[in-house]
């Protein structure tokens, strides 16, 4: 019985060393396209271009539009209610509270900005 345990221990130790050395060498091919913990995967596909949202309020003086929206995969933003800067003033003036819209928000120079909004 002791021999079996010793052999098993040696085999496990050897496997652990080879797995950790492969990981240290950067061999993560077995991981596929996994998102790292704490960092959601960013979806840049055309299917993720627009997100359903409801206009909650508009401040035309600042160009801010408050939206209750679904997840925005392109900027890794979960569903929430948040104000975003409209790309231009006409975009903010074209909607009213309660309007159902489809939007595309992007990070433009560090500002989350509505770059497209369709009614």
pLDDT tens, position by position, 69-115: 999 999 999 999 999 999 999 999 999 999 999 999 999 999 999 99
Beta-ladder partners of 63 = none
CA angle 76/93/72 to nearest 5° reads: 10
- pTM: predicted TM-score of the whole model, two decimal places: 0.60
Cα distance between residue 55 and residue 68, in whole Å: 7
Q: Left (φ > 0), alpha (ψ -120 to 50) or beta: where does 26 sit?
A: left
| Contact assessment for residue 118 and residue 101, using Cβ atoms and an 8 Å cutoff | yes
Mean pLDDT of the chain: 76
Strand locations in 31-110 (E): 51-59, 64-69, 80-86, 100-108
Judged on CB neighbours under 10 Å (0-12, 13-18, 19+), 119 is exposed
Query: Once rounded to an integer, what is the mean pLDDT over residues 11-32?
Result: 44
Q: What is the per-residue pLDDT for 3?
A: 54
């Amino acid at each position: 019985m002791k021999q079996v345990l010793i052999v098993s221990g040696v085999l496990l130790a050897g496997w652990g060393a080879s797995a950790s050395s492969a990981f240290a060498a950067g061999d993560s091919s077995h991981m596929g396209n996994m998102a790292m913990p704490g960092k959601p995967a960013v979806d840049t596909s055309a299917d993720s271009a627009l997100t359903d949202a409801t206009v909650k309020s508009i401040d035309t003086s600042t160009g801010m539009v408050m939206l209750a929206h679904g997840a925005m995969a392109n900027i890794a933003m979960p569903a929430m209610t948040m104000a975003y800067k409209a790309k231009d003033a006409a975009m903010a003036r074209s909607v009213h509270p309660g309007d159902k819209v489809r939007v595309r928000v992007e990070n433009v120079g560090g500002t989350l900005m509505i770059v497209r909004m369709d009614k």
